[in-house]
Each structure stands twice: as structure tokens, then as C-alpha cells.
Amino acid sequence: MDNLTHQMPVARAYGEIYAHDNVTPQDIPEGELVYTKIIPFTKNGLAKRCNNDYENGKITVLIAGTYNIGFTASSKVDANQVEFRTAVFRNDVELNNIHAKRLIKLATEETTVHIEGFEYLEIGDVLDVRVRHNYAGVLELVTEYCNLNITRMDR
């Protein structure tokens, strides 16, 4: 018999929250160093061994393991030449391997960001997405489409 015969099956776990045709703006306060949690989500996606909560913009892990975590968004702001940073947070702490910076040149321009990485998550860990910018004032962010998802990768 080969080794594959004796391996335990993978305990699948995944979760997803997303926005589709969202037009609700969210004010992002001034502050180049402070992140603001975004809640543009309009629906819960599929989930197994995770709690999806689109209304509060978070996914809670119900089984420990190594997860692939991804976030993609199409959004725009109401100002020109804005440096915008996006990051996934676990339990209110930025995940340094899942973040990005983009320059939004025109207020009318919708831009896309995709961030993804691997992280070991414990039972009860809560994931959300946060943003910050370098604009000298409050920005209005509209995220028309987005998706935060996690998939457990190990046994």
C-alpha cells in the first residue's frame, strides 16, 4: 500500500463574503497611518467550518489550519492622486504578507486591487479588510465589487 491510502481526509473549510453592484459610499477618515475597516459587502458566499458575516465585514474561522486568504475589489474615491493601501487583518492586527498599495490618479477612475497569501489561523480568528490613504481629508470610497475569501489548505 502506498502512503496516500493511510492519510486522513482534509477537513475542508472555506468562507466568502462579497459585494455585487454596491453603490453605498463609505467615508474613510484622514490618516496615513491609521487603517479603517471597510464594510462594502452585500452578501455571504458559501461557507463550511467558517462563519460569514457580510453585514459586519468579517469571516470567523471555526477550524485551525493553514489558509489561503484572498481579497479583490473594484473601487473608486472622490479625489485625485490618492495613494491607497489595503490590508487583511486578523483579530485587529495587520497581516504583513497580505496587503497592497495603489495610486488612484483620477476620482472618476475605478481601480482594482488583489491581495492574497497564506496564514496559519486558529479557531475563533476573525478576518476583515481595512484601508488607509495619504489624502489630506476624508475620502468617500465606493467599492462596487469585492470578494474576501478563505480556503483551508492543510489537514
Helix, strand, or coil here: 144?
A: strand
At 47, phi and psi to the nearest 5?
-150, 140
Tens-of-pLDDT digits for all 155 residues of the chain? Answer: 455 554 555 679 999 999 999 999 999 998 788 999 999 999 999 999 999 999 999 999 999 999 999 999 999 999 999 999 999 999 999 999 999 999 999 998 999 999 999 999 999 999 999 999 999 999 999 999 999 999 999 86
pLDDT at residue 1 in the model: 43
In whole angstroms, give the CA distance from residue 10 to residue 7: 9
End-to-end CA distance of the chain: 21
Domains and CATH numbers, the chain: 12-152 (2.60.120.40)
Closest CA to 101 of 121, 112, 85: 85
Distance CA 107, CA 110 (A): 8
